[in-house]
Chains A and B, each alone.
Chain A
């Protein structure tokens, strides 16, 4: 059961927004949690040696964080049954300043029969969209 009444929802309605600050610590934590130890996510010298402007966040960190706005709305991480994104731009994480990622989630489609809602997510850092076609289907 969900506390959300699907009949009260409208396409285009905003269901949540939040900002997250990624620091170098966040990247190291995600590396450990996920097992992705690619040094482009924590070593400036290595990132530069492969032609990057600097250390960047794991795309999967951005993807995993962005969906939390949807999870917080629905109240149950287990209700997100389908979630996909395109990685459009890297999130460069400055050693001192970090990087702020801003997420907005809006209703994209409602399926009354299946009792599912598609939530469309925008995710912006440094004024550019870092995820494209980010959509999460939630079972209500």
Chain B
């Protein structure tokens, strides 16, 4: 599917992360029981959707030269609203969740634009604030989804693909199109690669940054809601690890956090690579504690590797 959107010449194989993902998959084929099965593959795709959605928006923000630390807790907020407000109907609740994500993204963008504060500090602030809001709203309770259809959605399929996985891939393709083909997308790269040069050339830098933060908030919300449909619930500490995994997927996928460079193809590769890694390790009954260590090691290894390649 992504092949339809990519310009001629850029193939999946050019991104080293896909080779890493393929290699990891091959290794697990050998050592992990039940790894090779349709069910498991579907599982991997499903599990990658949450981090997947978050990393789509965050990748664009990073290409733009910024960072958004609030994605994890925005996801949690959206999930809590989408589940907690279901007494008003599922659709209004979901819309409320998405709206929350969009609004916070807008806030992030406007503050970064108008204040000139680095996005690290701004999103550190909004992350803390959103976390507070989540806890205030949920009062540290987990919410269970009232609507059974909601949780069923999380495990539903369209054809052979899990719905959420399909949505993820479709979103990724659309965003890749935006990045590669539209003016906004190309300007995002320009701003990320040279903010001052872009300003001098007359680009509406602040406007572009705000749109990208809104995208990030939007997809963070979608990701959170997606996770809650799988769990059939929202938990108060949902947001804590998400941003770490998201950044890992993006960095491992080859996007340069300093801006100007990167692609969603790489990020999707990173998301799959990590999902495969987690899935394989889980099938091998490796305790989740070790997974954390491996995650950290993988991230560091990716950095060293990219440094050696000269992309850093």
Q: Check if A and B associate.
A: no
Which chain A residues have a beta carbon within 8 Å of chain B's beta carbons?
Answer: none
Contact surface of B with A, Cβ cutoff 8 Å = none
